[in-house]
Amino acid sequence: MYKDNHLVAQLRAASFDREMDVFVQGQGGRTFGAFFANAERYAALLASRGVQAGDRVAVQVNKSLEALELYVGTVMAGAVFLPLNPDYTASEVAYFLQDATPRMFVLDPSRKSEMQSAVETANVTQVMTLDATGGGTLKDAASSMPAGFAPVPRTADDLAAILYTSGTTGRSKGAMLTHRALASNAETLVDYWRFTPDDVLIHALPIFHTHGLFVATNVALMAGAAMTFLPKFNLDAVFAAMPNATTLMGVPTFYTRMLQDPRLTVDSTRNMRLFVSGSAPLLAETHERWTERTGHKILERYGMTETNMNTSNPYEGARKPGTVGLPLPGVDVKIVDSDGAELDVDQIGSIEVRGDNVFAGYWQMPEKTAEELREDGWFVTGDLGVRDSDGYISIVGRSKDLIISGGFNVYPKEVEAVIDDLPNVLESAVIGLPHKDFGEAVVAVVVASDPALTIEAISVATSDKLARFKCPKIVLIVEALPRNTMGKVQKKALREKYENLFR
């Protein structure tokens, strides 16, 4: 039935005849058959509302199993899924809606009035609601639709999703992800990480992000594995789930917080076979402490919005603390100098990747696409790395100033623009500093033009205009920013000066 829709066909294949539940914590279970039948109803609803092949469906909702069904249903309808962080403010959402021009916008009902201006400005005519419990106008309308929707044919080269990521000027870029990119990467990870229908994945990640949506969800569905589907990361819920689970995918924050809990023992993790970490650097110290406490070695990997997963420590074999492992099968990775020449082992350079996992370019940004995605398929990641004699890769920094805090991308220019626009601010520099929970924490270093400027005023302004993960954890007011002879602010000097701020 699904064979002509590339991604959906592969997601459904492993679970087609299974009655195993996709389990929702505290809300009972749902079989794979019921899950895909609901996705078919969402697809039918989208089609009935004029959504056609290639149209974008923007979704800003809280985590729910219905939201996952909407994702699959959107792809079934031949449309392009566009997930947005629920923390984005109305001004941020306005940009995404105007840039992506979605046919439909699905949002939490509690924010409908707040987003009205953004909807009108972008001329989005189809607006529906979906709340954290699965209720709303979308669910109500879909419930009257029949299951059995025949998926719209889509090839491997057609778009399945757009995810926005930070841009070098502060303008977010829409990474276009094809059916091939998503399906091939999930298929690789199922095999590489040994996922089977016997697995039960603890899903505690957000689903507007590559990690929770395209890694955790796609891998589980493609393997026919069950999910303990948690609304968010919660220590009590995770520890309660582990005796009946086999795998956990998380960010470093998950592991540092679990290490602080006395319930983390060899016995409490006895049923688990795999702990995966990504989206932010995992400290070698965290890796080593986890092994001491549990007997398990965390498997760290490296991916990006534009590429899904690129490298991984092996399932069998050495998992080296401080490294992101080896290139995945079918993914080429090279480390090059400023002239593009490939470097030898132990030499730091720019990381470039190539493979079916790589995106198709940036939405409506041909110039930016040409800068970062070469005609021969190599993508310039902007990350700096080094390869050791065994082929393991370590990420040592970024050639851009991108901050990854708690697994989310924060571009300093966007935060600086908000701060610099305030009265009594002369200038600001936003940097990322090492943080044991978040990988990096956002810090604003501000020069005042008037002594009346307060840290509170800066904090209030950023929280009003920016999603929470972009807001500075600490604001420092200083007399001047360090500069080089050309007058450029030296953020490296700031990072070195304040590197122990959170230690």
Question: Rounded CA gap, 270 and 293, in Å?
Answer: 12
Question: Rounded CA gap, 438 and 233, in Å?
Answer: 14
* pLDDT band of 27, cuts 50, 70, 90: low
Cβ-contact 65, 134 below 8 angstroms:
yes
The closest alpha carbon to 470, from 105, 130, 234, 166, belongs to 166
The closest alpha carbon to 428, from 171, 172, 170, belongs to 170
pLDDT of residue 20: 65
Question: Rounded CA gap, 358 and 364, in Å?
Answer: 17
pLDDT of residue 400: 67
Cβ-contact 308, 222 below 8 angstroms:
no
Question: Rounded CA gap, 368 and 167, in Å?
Answer: 9
Question: Rounded CA gap, 126 and 467, in Å?
Answer: 25
CA quadruple 73, 75, 77, 81: dihedral sign = positive
* pLDDT surpasses 70 at 86: yes
CB-based burial, 437-459: b 16+ in 10 Å, e otherwise: bbbbbbbbbbbbeeeebeeebbb
pLDDT of residue 212: 94
By CB neighbour count within 10 A (0-12 exposed, 13-18 middle, 19+ buried), where does 185 fall? buried
123-138 tens-digit pLDDT: 999 999 999 999 999 9
* pLDDT surpasses 60 at 478: yes
pLDDT of residue 24: 67
Average pLDDT rounded to a whole number, residues 73-84: 97
Going by the DSSP 8-state scheme, the letter that residue 279 receives in this structure is S
Q: Which of 100-114, 220-234, 394-408 has the highest mean pLDDT?
A: 100-114
| Helices 412-420 + 455-465 axis angle, to 10 | 120
Residue type, 386: V
Going by the DSSP 8-state scheme, the letter that residue 373 receives in this structure is B
Going by the DSSP 8-state scheme, the letter that residue 107 receives in this structure is E
- H helix intervals, 50-199: 65-76, 90-100, 116-122, 137-143, 179-192
458-472 tens-digit pLDDT: 999 999 999 999 999
**Measured CA distances, 29 to 33, 108, 146, 208 (Å):** 12, 23, 21, 22
* pLDDT surpasses 70 at 25: no
- The SS3 of residue 338 is coil
* pTM for the model: 0.84
- Residue 342 β-bridge partners: 336
Which CB contacts under 8 angstroms, 24+ apart, belong to 117-120? 117/90, 118/90, 118/91, 118/93, 118/94
Count how many Cα atoms sit within 13 Å of the Cα of residue 231 in the half-sphere of its side chain: 10
* pLDDT band of 18, cuts 50, 70, 90: low
CA quadruple 154, 45, 97, 182: dihedral sign = negative
Which domains does the chain carry? 6-17+32-178 (3.40.50.980), 403-497 (3.30.300.30)
Q: What is the mean pLDDT of the chain?
A: 92
Chain-centroid distance of CA 311 in Å reads 16
* pLDDT surpasses 80 at 82: yes
425-453 tens-digit pLDDT: 988 999 999 998 899 999 999 999 899 99
pLDDT of residue 169: 46
The DSSP secondary structure of 139-164, one letter per residue, reads: HHHHHTSPS---PPPB-TTSEEEEEE
* pLDDT surpasses 60 at 16: yes
* pLDDT band of 167, cuts 50, 70, 90: very low
310-325 tens-digit pLDDT: 999 999 999 999 899 9
* pLDDT surpasses 70 at 248: yes
* pLDDT band of 170, cuts 50, 70, 90: low
Question: Rounded CA gap, 335 and 188, in Å?
Answer: 22
Q: What is the dihedral of CA 262, 266, 268, 273, to 10 degrees?
A: 130
Average pLDDT rounded to a whole number, residues 412-418: 86
Q: What is the largest CA-CA distance in the chain?
A: 69
Average pLDDT rounded to a whole number, residues 396-423: 83
172-193 tens-digit pLDDT: 899 999 999 999 999 999 999 9
- H helix intervals, 323-454: 366-372, 412-420
* pLDDT surpasses 90 at 392: yes
Average pLDDT rounded to a whole number, residues 339-353: 93
280-305 tens-digit pLDDT: 778 788 899 999 999 999 999 999 99
Cβ-contact 220, 201 below 8 angstroms:
yes
Question: Rounded CA gap, 204 and 49, in Å?
Answer: 32
pLDDT of residue 168: 41
- Describe the chain by its helix, strand, coil percentages, rounded to 5: 30, 25, 40
Structure tokens at 289: 């402490």
